[in-house]
A and B are shown apart, each in its own frame.
Chain A
Amino acid sequence: MINQTITPRQAVMWFCLYQTGSAMLILPSSLATIAKQDAWMCIPLAIVMFLGVSTFYLAIAKQMNGASFEDYFQRILGSLLGKIVLFLFVLLFPYLIFILVLRDLGDYLTTSVIPETPQAAIYALMLAAVYYVVRLGATVIGRIAEILFFVVMTLFLVGFLSLFVNADWRNLLPMLEDGPKPVFHASIHLLAFPYLESVLFLFFVNQFDHAKKWRRIIVRSAILSGFACFIVTMMSLLALSAGVISNLTYPSYFVVRTISIGDIFERFEVVISIIWYISIFFRLALLLYVSVQGFAGVFRLKYPRALLIPLSLIAIMMAKVVWPNMAFLITLLQVWPYYCIIFGLLFPIALWLVGKVRLSGSSDA
């Protein structure tokens, strides 16, 4: 599982599907709640901010200097402290997100698509596939991403561009009604979720020849997924208006339900579920991959695969209890961006600073 190669092209597609995953379904509503009819402006703004953050990630990648991310912790923090910090980081960030995403998947499917299916069945089916693919390693995931990326993009464009028929441009007016502040606020939310999760891509740095190439990959994937988010948000705004989408649980799904062109081209909202299911698959695969790699680094495991089944089973149990009800989730989503900032920005800054101090003394290899 370790040191499996993945091409830059595959990585871009995988990371892009990762970023569109959870965000796409709820994004229009969470952005429109804050920025109202200006929600669409947040996306380019967040991407620009992310470009700045990515140069900072690049600095860390350079400090890693060819070692893996899990070794980097121990190199700069010492063996024991490095292991403890790495353990906490993996547990509280990728593995926690893994559980949350799983639950999110279950909630969405049982709310909108198949309400009578028990969530455990949904989790088990999805995890069986994720377990299998992570077991096979990054090369296989990369190839699947390469195939499914175009399926997702085609379905996506057909689904959302056909909303042009219902578009009403006046829904975007007035621009900046309450000044630029809400737009800025919403873009911080967007930057934090999902873009600051890109810190997890640091686990992949040593797969590429040099760190600059790695940065190019994450920037490209962010631009691609930003483009997708932009279309979703813009189309939902144009077709339904900000007021409507901010009160919907799953606006991207709802908005596609309203398409009806010539009484023939209609009722293909399941397409959204398919897109979402596929991208969630890649999201879970990446999160499990990273968690396994991280935990294996902590315990110096010879066969990291041994962790796959226990981690998946724990996730099934945890997914059931991770939040008690929908209202809790909605409150959680308001706090979540700050949580992401802690792990996606503040924590790497701390690491980098420590690294700067620790590594400057030793040889600048």
Chain B
Amino acid sequence: MTLYRRLLNLTALLALLTFLLSGCWSRKELNELSVVIGLGVDKLEDGYEVSLQVVDPSQMSRNRSAERSAVIVISEKAPTLFEALRKATTKSPRKLYLSHIHMLLFDEEAARTGINEPLDFLLRDHQVRPDFYIAVAKDFKAKEVLGFVTPFEVLPALELYKSLEVSEKLWAPTSAIKVTQLMKIFTEQGVQAVLTGITLTGDAEKGNTMDNVKQPTSLAEYRYIGIGVFKQDRLLGWLNESDSKAWSYVTNNVKTTVGTSECPRSDGRFAVDITHSSSKMIPYLLNGQPAIRLKTVMDANIGEMHCKLDLEDESNLLQLQNTLNRTLAELISTGIRNVQQQYGVDVFGFGEEFHRKYPKLWKTWRNDWDDRFKTMPVQVDSEFKLNKMGESISPMDYKQAPKE
């Protein structure tokens, strides 16, 4: 009897185990999924054209054929992103899997009409992780940029992602903006958004063919250009390189970059490697009106020297230091002034500083903050320190040149 019972129990247990064998309810094997790594949104008159850069799985193996592209770009038109994405499955044998999106590109038209609408889907969908970068394709459609064959990485979206990440660290005018930063900015009244721009140069049409990478010089290249200024979620226009740089300095987005200036007493230029840069906005009241004092502290080493100077002499080095200090302070204040006059939107986040320091006053200012921002005086106090000069001291020809 007990043996019988035990057998019965064991059978029941084994029968229950079969439920586990089927695995998950809605399991999806890797060979049923298309991994989307890049997403492009182009604005049409009635809706969007959504382009998806999808990894070609057969090209990810070791013995891949050089004949085929490693990614496939599918695009579909529909009034909403969600619709377009579902519709795109009519062109793909697999289900689209969105968790690995690395880059999101908007074309200028979409950016100018507002990016809130297309972003909504990406924040709502459960597959999409909020860790992708966003950029605006300038002069080209997002679809064209996504179809570009990149020289370094096999997967273009990954190359765009890494390139943005690296250049943000080494080159101040580019800025990598993630979607969570954008979400935060959209909820605040004292700061407006910016997004970096990307464009193609050279023979863009050939850049979209495999020929682009068949010789050492690419036929076309992609390039991150300066940043685009937004008002709410709409693109207003672009900042040039030095103004973009100013934005990065002011908002503390510079890790390292290059600073250059004219030589103090002779022709030519010199360049320094800025190894550290930090800025602090100090809001204060000037006759009851908002004003900002900006304190920047930078450390740099000499990177390249065209000036005819004896660097063994400390006074010469200090002279360079002063020159650069003036140049950079000028660059920053010009940048701020240009934004104030040209666009009149507070992309630097000065308003948020006032919000933090003067919460009561802010309540009366926040609704017409952009107007106040336009005329707000900004004073730049910069402190610049030149430390090292690399492996050589004076320029090579200096010693031969006749001393004055």
- A residues with a Cβ closer than 8 A to B are 111-118, 121, 170, 173-174, 177, 240-241, 243-244, 247, 254, 257-258, 260, 266-267, 269
Contacts and interface: CB of A to CB of B under 8 A. Distances in A.
A243 B131 contact: no
Best-surrounded residue of A114, A170, A177, A244 (most CB of chain B within 10 A): A244
B356 interface: yes
Contacts of A257: 129-131
A244 B131 contact: no
A187 to B, nearest CB: 20
A114 B359 CA distance: 43
A177 to B, nearest CB: 4
B19 to A, nearest CB: 10
Contacts of B183: 240, 244
A235 B126 CA distance: 21
Contact of A121 (B25, B130, B180, B357): B25
A116 B26 contact: yes
Contacts of A243: 184, 187-188
Contacts of A267: 129
Contact of A266 (B126, B131, B357): B131
Nearest to A243: B187
Ordered nearest first, which 5 A-B pairs have the shortest CB separation?
A: A243-B187, A116-B26, A173-B356, A174-B359, A117-B25
Contacts, number: 48
Given A113-B126, A240-B180, A244-B184, A170 B356 contact: yes
A258 B183 CA distance: 12
Interface string B156-195: 0000000000000000000000001001100110000000
Given A240-B184, A254-B130, A257-B130, 8 more contacts: A113-B126, A121-B25, A173-B356, A174-B355, A174-B356, A244-B180, A257-B131, A269-B129
Nearest to A248: B123
A113 to B, nearest CB: 7
A241 B25 contact: no
18 contacts: A112-B126, A114-B24, A116-B25, A117-B25, A170-B356, A174-B359, A177-B359, A240-B180, A240-B184, A241-B187, A244-B180, A244-B183, A257-B130, A257-B131, A258-B131, A260-B131, A266-B131, A267-B129
Contacts of B129: 257, 267, 269
Interface in B351-365: 352, 355-357, 359
B180 A114 contact: no
A181 to B, nearest CB: 14
A170 B352 CA distance: 10
A116 B26 CA distance: 6
Contacts of B26: 114-117
Contacts of A244: 180, 183-184, 187
A221 B223 CA distance: 56
A113 B129 CA distance: 12
Contacts of B131: 257-258, 260, 266
A258 B198 CA distance: 24
A266 B131 CA distance: 10
Contacts of B355: 174
A266 B102 CA distance: 14
A209 to B, nearest CB: 40
A257 B131 CA distance: 8
A118 B187 CA distance: 35
Contacts of B24: 114, 117
Nearest to A117: B25
A280 B40 CA distance: 40
A115 B356 CA distance: 40
Nearest to A178: B359
Contacts of A247: 187
Contacts of B356: 170, 173-174
A258 B129 CA distance: 7
B25 A258 contact: no
Contacts of A121: 25
